[in-house]
Amino acid sequence: MKGTVGLLASRIRLEEKRLLSAFAARAVRVEHVDPRKLRFQLTGAAPWPVVLNREISGTRARYAALSLEAAGAVTLNPARAIEVCGDKWATSLALTRAGVPTPRATLALTPDAALEEIEAIGYPVVLKPLSSSWGRRVSLLRDPDAAQAVLEHCAALPAPQAHVIYLQAYVEKPGRDIRVVVVGDEVVGAVYRTADEWRTNVARGALTTPCDPQGELADTAIRAARAVGAQIAGVDLVEDTDGRLMVIEVNSGVEFAGLQQALGETCDVPGAIADLTRERLDVVLGGAALAGAAS
């Protein structure tokens, strides 16, 4: 639909409600679509020139973006960014290639190979599924008994991907990490996430407090978003005991309610996303108008 933004979301959470309000305040027409009802053909034009992809399922989000891009739509985020961010090993490779500081990581193609690698690099080490959110199935392995138990569990899982083991060096941190939201090429806001346990996900009850995203922190977050090709990104960083910053993960489906609540009126994540989406829409419609005039 010309001039209308497609908003893909199977669940309307607080973030999506705020986005809809931000679009309305900017007089941008939006059509909300549940991706679970979408079907795609090999040919045909996209229903919307620009799509803001807020689908919570990483698989549906990626294939929706892939199909819409093939049909001519601009998607935020692009399918490639969703693919990279949805795979921790692909993210580590992208960050390393771009020279973004990130903890040492290893990929083992079997649990047995993972056990050998853990013995080589030493304890503690963090084991993560290749694709997961909210800190689920992430384990801090402190000794051989814990490693053996977790890897036996991985080997017993039916999904072949569960047998591929991603290991990341454990970074001693001051009881917190940092979440930075990047929109376009700008940092919109940042918070410290503090928890009583080593995992500092908001979904697991971490406390969020304001963080001033200046200098190296902002630069590293922006470089991380660029490295994975994300226009809208939640970049998770940690500080080691010497204060050096390292990027742990980059999220393409940004949940920002906790950050927005902590920062209040000093930060407007939905407004920044709505502005970026409108800019992309203006570019697409302007290009279409120029093409029509040329013909």
CATH at 157: 3.30.1490.20
93: in domain? no
Strand order in the sheet with 125-128: 105-108, 165-169, 125-128, 139-141
Range of the domain at 33: 4-84+272-294
Same domain, 115 and 193: no
> Which SS3 state, helix, strand or coil, does residue 19 take?
helix
Q: What is the DSSP letter of 163?
A: G
CB 53 within 8 A of CB 75: yes
94: in domain? no
Residue listed under structure tokens 């973006």: 65
79: in domain? yes
Same domain, 14 and 74: yes
Same domain, 260 and 204: yes
Task: Report which of 36, 106, 23 is spatially closest to residue 64, judged by C-alpha positions.
Answer: 36
Give the pLDDT confidence score for residue 198 in this predicted structure.
Answer: 57
129: in domain? yes
95: in domain? no
Same domain, 278 and 264: no
Same domain, 262 and 289: no
Same domain, 233 and 285: no
Same domain, 165 and 179: no
Same domain, 117 and 161: yes
Peptide bond just before 77 cis, omega within 30 deg:
yes
Per-residue pLDDT of the chain (295 residues; tens, 9 = 90+): 579 999 999 999 999 999 999 999 999 999 999 999 999 999 999 999 999 999 999 999 999 999 999 999 999 999 999 999 999 999 999 999 999 999 999 999 999 999 999 988 889 999 998 986 555 778 999 999 999 999 999 999 998 888 999 999 998 877 889 999 999 999 999 999 987 665 555 555 678 899 999 899 999 999 999 999 999 999 999 998 888 999 999 999 999 999 999 999 889 999 999 999 999 999 999 865 444 444 4
Give the pLDDT confidence score for residue 200 in this predicted structure.
Answer: 55
CB 1 within 8 A of CB 48: yes
91: in domain? no
Rounded Cα–Cα distance for residues 135 and 233 (Å): 17
Same domain, 161 and 235: no
